[in-house]
Amino acid sequence: MKTALIIWMVVGSIPWLLGLRRAVARVQMERYRLSTRSPSCDASLSVSVIIPARDERDNIRAAVEACLQQDHAQMEVCVIDDGSSDGTRAVLDSIVDSRLRIIDGGDDALPEGWLGKPWACHRASQHARGDWLLFVDADVRLAPAAVSRSVQYAVENELGMVSGLGQLVNVSIGERLIQPVVTGMIIAANDLTDVNDQEQPEKALASGQFLLFERSAYDTLGGHGAVKSNVLDDVGLALAAKESSLGYHLVHMRELYRCRMYQSGAECWRGWRKNLFPGMERRWGILGLAIGFQWLFIVGPLMVFLLAVLQGWGWVILASTLPLAAMHILRWYLDGVYGQPRLFGLLTHIFSNVLVGFLMMDSAWHTTRGAAVWKGRVIRRSDHSSGGSSSSGST
């Protein structure tokens, strides 16, 4: 038995060592990374920044003001008030700037077959006048260089669509427990070399927090109407862009925008509950593999270590420290890269993974047997269309 446990622990350290090597290589790769030092686009290009807002009173002013502080001159900000009941419209009305256009989305029932966020984005796009459309969420804070750098990247690479991964901000304990693990799983499963390969259309990943389109490409795709019933609308649009050969890239943009996706641990749980299992293409096999990996390579080493300590099995104790050390070194490194509290991550890493395992199962239950609720709207089972993994928080 002791020999088998030692072999398990040695083998169990391999995925973490390979993961660390891969993570370092990805961080050092500059190919798919935008920063304030990236080149700016032609000042004559017109851009419409579109923000769908439903009950975003606490977010909307900062989001709009960040957009208005862009270093690109030819732009407008279009905000659609999507049936807010918390005073969002009053905040918008208090912002005085000729570049801000407020669209009254009303609070009528959604048209048949539409989810809330795609419907809001679709209507807002009909009012936008820019040659480029940038859709951002109300919890996004753009850096002044975000618009000019991302548009130039699209122009240089002849892309019809660009999405960006920004800096996630986690404040509450619940967010810090869940967010790093979930986003780490998504990024680990999606190498940007594959995601940005037009010959691999099935490898689609996007962030709904930041979606940039050349206007004609957006119209060719059918806009948000093409993903009107897809809870993973961002991934659906990326998949459509790759399949239509309009050109699509997902890039790292941590210097160009930050986002606090959820305002509490409970909201974080509800948000990922509606997205996680659809992001696994609603396949029970993928769910089983994900949970199995957690128990074999994350929880398992801890259980072996505790058993070995109780039994006084010296070599087993030593062997079990290999995967435990490797996984925590990887977590320490990634938390440093992505600006998360390192000590908190080390102390809670295993518990966080167990928690996310239950979250994945809860997502599977709600999206196949029940219905998720988000921003006061019910997302039926039929609305959880399949697609790739997503990092968005749809309204």
| Per-residue model confidence as pLDDT tens digits over 174-219 | 999 999 999 999 888 889 999 999 889 888 999 999 999 999 999 9
Alpha-carbon distance of 284 to 387, in angstroms, equals: 14
SS3 61: helix
Q: Any idea what DSSP says for residue 371?
A: -
Across the range 314-320, mean pLDDT stands at 96
Would you state the pLDDT for residue 393?
Answer: 41
- Model confidence pLDDT, tens digit, residues 347-373: 999 999 999 999 999 999 988 876 656
Contact 266, 318 (CB under 8 A): no
Alpha-carbon distance of 122 to 125, in angstroms, equals: 5
Q: Which residue from 299, 95, 120 is spatially nearest to 208, judged by alpha carbons?
A: 120
Residue 354 dihedral angles phi and psi, to the nearest 5°? -65, -45
Alpha-carbon distance of 189 to 203, in angstroms, equals: 10
Asked whether the predicted pLDDT for residue 391 surpasses 90, the reply is no
Alpha-carbon distance of 140 to 257, in angstroms, equals: 7
Across the range 291-312, mean pLDDT stands at 96
Would you state the pLDDT for residue 40?
Answer: 97
Confidence of residue 26 (pLDDT cuts 50, 70, 90): confident
Number of H helices, E strands in the chain: 14, 12
Alpha-carbon distance of 173 to 85, in angstroms, equals: 28
**CB count, 10 Å around CB of 71?**
15
Give the residue carrying structure tokens 């992001």.
279
Token digits for 239?
A: 């998949």
Would you state the pLDDT for residue 90?
Answer: 96
Q: Which residue from 302, 292, 259, 225 is spatially nearest to 62, judged by alpha carbons?
A: 259
- Model confidence pLDDT, tens digit, residues 115-166: 999 999 999 999 999 999 999 999 999 999 999 999 999 999 999 999 999 9
**CB count, 10 Å around CB of 349?**
21
- Model confidence pLDDT, tens digit, residues 63-74: 999 999 999 999
- Please, which residues bridge with residue 100 across strands? 77
Confidence of residue 386 (pLDDT cuts 50, 70, 90): very low
Contact 239, 197 (CB under 8 A): no
Residue 198 dihedral angles phi and psi, to the nearest 5°? -65, -20
Domain boundaries, the chain: 2-25+279-375, 32-166+207-263
Confidence of residue 394 (pLDDT cuts 50, 70, 90): very low
- Model confidence pLDDT, tens digit, residues 217-253: 999 999 999 999 988 999 999 999 999 989 999 999 9
Would you state the pLDDT for residue 108?
Answer: 85
This prediction has a pTM of 0.89
Would you state the pLDDT for residue 367?
Answer: 85
Asked whether the predicted pLDDT for residue 388 surpasses 60, the reply is no
Give the range among 25-39, 47-61, 88-102, 288-302 with minimum mean pLDDT. Answer: 25-39
Q: Any idea what DSSP says for residue 390?
A: B
Q: Which residue from 345, 370, 372 is spatially nearest to 178, judged by alpha carbons?
A: 345
Across the range 247-272, mean pLDDT stands at 95
Residue 384 dihedral angles phi and psi, to the nearest 5°? -85, 70
**What class does CATH assign to 32-166+207-263?**
alpha beta
Query: How far is CA 329 from its chain centroid?
Result: 24
Contact 291, 361 (CB under 8 A): yes
96: which residues sit within 8 A by CB, 6+ positions away? none
252: which residues sit within 8 A by CB, 6+ positions away? 32, 33, 34, 164, 165, 192
Would you state the pLDDT for residue 372?
Answer: 58
Alpha-carbon distance of 164 to 158, in angstroms, equals: 16
Would you state the pLDDT for residue 380?
Answer: 58
Contact 50, 125 (CB under 8 A): yes
Q: How does the average pLDDT of the chain come out, rounded?
A: 92
